[in-house]
Every structure is written in C-alpha cells, then in structure tokens.
C-alpha cells in the first residue's frame, strides 16, 4: 500500500501558514512543518507555530536557527528601523521586508524535504492582501520550483518537486473563510510584527491591519488578542 505523499509546510505561526497547513492536510498530504528562529523581533510567533503544530500537525515541528539580524536591513530584524504603524503603503517595498527571507527558508525546507522523501513544498505567500514583498509573487514561486528541480536529486531520476502557494490569489477574507471551514483555530496564531511576549497584537502594523480587515470582510469575529487599550485599525 502506498502511503500519503509527504510535504514540507513552512509554518511561521501566523494566520496564512496555519491555513496552508490545513489545506495541505485536507488534500491528503503527510505534513512536516518547519519554522525559523531567525532573530525576528516578534518571536512570539515561534510559540504560536508550536501550538498550531501540536493541534493540527502530524509530525514533530522542526525549528531551524538562523541569524538574519547579522545582515539586518529590515524592521523585523534590525533596531535601526521601526515597524511602520501608519497604514499599509499602496506601493513600494516596505521596511518590514526581510531580504531574501523566503528564498532562504524555501531552500532549507527543500533540503529537509530531500531528507524525508517529500515531493511538495507549501508556503503561505500571497500577492493580493500583502505588503508588497517581492518574494510573495507568483513569479518567485515559479522560479523557485524550477530551481528545486535542477538543484536536487530530481536531476538524476529523483521525484520532481512541486512548490505550492495556495493562498497566492486569495484575499485575506477568502483565506480566513477557507481556514475556518477547515477548522483552523485562529486564536492560536500570531501575525503581529511587534507582538509582545504573550503574543498580544499591536493592532496597527501592516500585518495587524490586513488580518483584522480580513475577518471584518469575511463577516467573522476577529479572535486576535490585542494589547490592553488597543483598538485594531484597518
């Protein structure tokens, strides 16, 4: 009897990646989750990822240690920049973009996948309700899949890789509706770029604004825990 196909799911601890995990499970994949402790200021998301993996996962959650603070260049990894709280910019690459982050994460997930015999990588990249990151576009995912198939044992008769970003063309409201239908408990997730140690959200950063608007547009209650005295903004 042939077992379930294996997939590696990038699980950050946020709303999108939790939804992707639920979607992959619903399609019958044997899901292996991987997260990254890369020096992010909002490291409450790491604990959220463990909660999600324990609740929804099928295999032990793996966390890889990196130090992207060493190169900086982002409000998420460097004290030189503040996380913007004035509203989502209509154009340009925001200071919360972490240089080459998804390229690095997918590359390590690809190596992990080779070790465990996976054939699929899943990432929660989204090009609709997002903050303008260059590594959250269809072109990036397509090119990384091509890379995966020339940089691994796939070139010598191994299984071909498929890299999927199932949320790519979905609005945030579509994402939360889909996840809710699949039983995702979004109260377990942390999306805020400057969440405190308890995982409570600031309500004003880009991630908070997009998340809150998604629940409003979906007609669903926002289960996010906000910091005392904070009213979430959109």
User: What does the block give as tokens for 7?
Assistant: 């997939």
Tell me the C-alpha distance between 53 and 59, whole Å: 8
Q: How confident is the model at residue 131 (pLDDT cuts 50, 70, 90)?
A: low
**What total number of domains does the chain contain?**
1
pLDDT digits over 187-227, tens only? 999 999 999 999 999 999 999 999 999 999 999 999 999 99
Q: Is the pLDDT of residue 134 over 70?
A: yes
pLDDT digits over 99-113, tens only? 999 999 999 999 999
Residue 20 C-alpha from the chain's centroid: 8
Instruction: Report in angstroms the alpha-carbon separations of 131 from 24, 33, 232.
Output: 24, 24, 17
Angle at CA of residue 158, ends 154 and 161, nearest 5°: 55
CB proximity list for 188: less than 8 A, separation 6 or greater: 18, 48, 51, 52, 55
- The confidence score (pLDDT) of residue 35 equals 98
pLDDT digits over 63-86, tens only? 999 999 999 999 999 999 999 998
How many of the other CB atoms lie within 10 Å of CB of 198? 10
Looking at residue 116, the DSSP 8-state letter turns out to be H
More confident residue, 74 or 91: 74
Residue 204 lies in a domain: no
Question: Residue 181: exposed, middle, or buried by beta-carbon count in 10 A (0-12, 13-18, 19+)?
Answer: exposed
SS3 assignment, position 31? strand
- The confidence score (pLDDT) of residue 234 equals 79
- The confidence score (pLDDT) of residue 99 equals 95
Q: Is the pLDDT of residue 1 over 60?
A: no
Residue 22 C-alpha from the chain's centroid: 13
Residue 50 lies in a domain: yes
Tell me the C-alpha distance between 199 and 13, whole Å: 11
pLDDT digits over 168-191, tens only? 999 999 999 999 999 999 999 999
**Phi and psi at residue 226, in whole multiples of 5°?**
-100, 155
SS3 assignment, position 64? strand
- The confidence score (pLDDT) of residue 2 equals 62
For 55, the domain range is: 6-189
Tell me the C-alpha distance between 200 and 2, whole Å: 43
Residue 216 lies in a domain: no
Residue 112 lies in a domain: yes
Residue 149 lies in a domain: yes
Residue 201 lies in a domain: no
Residue 195 lies in a domain: no
Residue 148 lies in a domain: yes
Q: Is the pLDDT of residue 116 over 50?
A: yes
**Looking at residue 165, which CATH number applies to its domain?**
3.40.50.620
């Amino acid at each position: 009897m042939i077992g379930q196909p294996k997939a590696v799911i990038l699980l950050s601890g946020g709303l999108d990646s939790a939804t992707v995990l639920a979607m992959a499970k619903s399609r019958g994949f044997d899901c292996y989750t991987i997260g990254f402790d890369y020096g992010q200021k909002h490291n409450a998301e790491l604990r959220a990822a463990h909660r999600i993996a324990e609740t929804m996962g099928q295999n032990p959650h793996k966390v890889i240690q990196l130090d992207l603070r060493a190169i900086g260049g982002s409000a998420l990894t460097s004290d030189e920049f503040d996380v913007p709280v004035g509203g989502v910019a209509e154009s340009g690459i925001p200071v919360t973009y972490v240089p080459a982050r998804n390229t690095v994460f997918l590359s390590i997930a690809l190596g992990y996948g080779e070790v465990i015999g996976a054939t699929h990588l899943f990432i929660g990249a989204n090009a609709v309700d997002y903050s303008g990151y260059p590594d959250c576009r269809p072109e990036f995912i397509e090119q990384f899949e091509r890379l995966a198939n020339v940089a691994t044992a796939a070139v010598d008769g191994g299984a071909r890789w498929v890299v999927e970003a199932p949320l790519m063309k979905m609005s945030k409201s579509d994402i939360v509706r889909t996840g809710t239908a699949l039983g995702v408990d979004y109260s377990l997730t942390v999306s805020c770029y400057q969440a405190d140690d308890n995982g409570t959200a600031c309500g004003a950063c880009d991630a908070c604004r997009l998340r809150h608007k998604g629940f409003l547009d979906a007609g669903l209650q926002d289960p996010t825990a906000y910091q005392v005295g904070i009213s979430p903004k959109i």
